[in-house]
Amino acid sequence: MSLALHEAGRTDSVSTLPYRGRFAPSPTGPLHAGSLVAALASWLDARAHRGTWLVRIEDVDTPRCVPGADEFILHQLAACGLTPDEPPVWQSRRGHLYQAALDRLIALDGVHPWAYPCACTRADIARAHERAGHPKARHGELVYPGTCRPENGGLHGREARAWRLRVPQGEAGVLHWHDRRLGHQEQALDTAVGDFVVKRADGLWAYQLAVVVDDAEQGITDVVRGEDLADNTPRQLHLLRLLNLPKPRYLHIPLVRGANGEKLSKQNGAEPLDLTDPVRTVRAALAALATPEAGLMPGWTADEPQPTPAMGELLASAVASWRPSASASARR
């Protein structure tokens, strides 16, 4: 399915399409307990909807990728009974699709261009905030102050580093969406994020653009992923709207936290999955989805039945218990 095809079809709803879901790991290291929970959630949701489940290797951020981690992740998934229904794709091999999308954003009509080149470094952005008298950001990215917007004088003779995408201001910049577990969500893109990078200063594609292009190109109807990515959704919805691509349904699942209460991640040293007893490892991941907070598998019991079920049986019983709070087919 090509982007051009979608454009011709002018569909903005996935409700009539057959279910297609995906798990999209970054090969920055092996899967850990938290990433297995996300993989299982997307797989269970796909199976419960008798849909197709894909794996996409999100390796656009090449400096962060670990050689061989992609194949190891596929091996870990297979050991846990999770085999994609179609061959996996690698984002690093899909640059032409992202370039085509950027070209379309650049060519869009508007009072001002939607995509524009930006020459600002991180320090430039911090200085612009200082000059404007804004308090120092507590953490994370600073909202882009619009320095290189064409109506503000563009690059001011500096060399372009990155491409940014304009976000609508004020009322139009508030994006609303429905999450199948969290319900109604909204974010004011202009005050929360600002014009965001779609092609980075180092020439790499930004995560937001790659995800949106791939989900559309792969016909993904349902995005099931960790709650830490929920606040990326409005940027992706903005991109979908500008590119005239269909909007998937979203289900954000709770994060698995370590003993210190922080999200389990490769960055804070989460251990690779223990595959000496995969059934036990999968059972532990299912227990994380069956908590009352998650609310995704009411009635699932973590008690270990005797004898221990085979992986196929365990997964089949999990599919039968899978009840995301709202059914994907019931919405819209």
Binding site for Zn ion (CB under 5 A): 118, 120, 147-148
Of 74 and 148, which has the nearer Cβ to Zn ion? 148
**Which residue, 128 or 287, has its beta carbon nearer to Zn ion?**
128
Whichever of 53 and 196 has its CB closer to Zn ion, that residue is 196
Q: For residues 57 and 165, which CB has a smaller minimum distance to Zn ion in the complex?
A: 165
Query: Residue holding tokens 């559309």?
Result: 216
Judged by beta carbon, residue 195 or residue 222, the one nearer Zn ion is 195
| Nearest distance from C-beta of residue 53 to Zn ion, angstroms | 40
Phi, psi for residue 315 in degrees, rounded to 5 = -65, -40
Tell me the pairing of strands 249-253 and 222-226.
parallel
Buried-exposed string 278-311: b where 16+ CB fall within 10 A, e elsewhere: bbebbbbbbebbbeeebebbeebeeeeeeeeeee
Cβ distance to Zn ion smaller for residue 144 or 322: 144
Minimum distance, C-beta of residue 148 to Zn ion, in the bound complex (Å): 3
Return the exposure string of 198-222: e unless at least 16 CB atoms fall within 10 Å of the residue's CB, then b.
bbbeeebbbbbbbbbbbbbbbbbbb
For the CB of residue 301, give the shortest distance to Zn ion in the complex, in Å.
55
Q: Which residues pair with 115 in a beta bridge?
A: 165
Closest contact distance (angstroms) between CB of 156 and Zn ion is: 9
- Beta carbon nearer to Zn ion, 148 or 253: 148
Distance, in Å, from the CA atom of 180 to the CA atom of 300, rounded to the nearest integer, reads: 20
Q: Smallest distance, Å, CB 118 to Zn ion?
A: 3
Q: Radius of gyration of the chain from Cα atoms?
A: 21
How many CB atoms lie under 10 A from the CB of residue 91? 23
In the complex, least distance from residue 121 CB atom to Zn ion, rounded to whole angstroms: 9
Closest CA to 282 of 55, 68, 43: 43
Q: Is the Cβ–Cβ distance between 46 and 21 less than 8 Å?
A: yes
Tokens (6 digits) for 329? 């087919």
| Minimum CB–partner distance for residue 129 and Zn ion (Å) | 13
Cα angle 98-99-100, degrees, rounded to a multiple of 5? 90
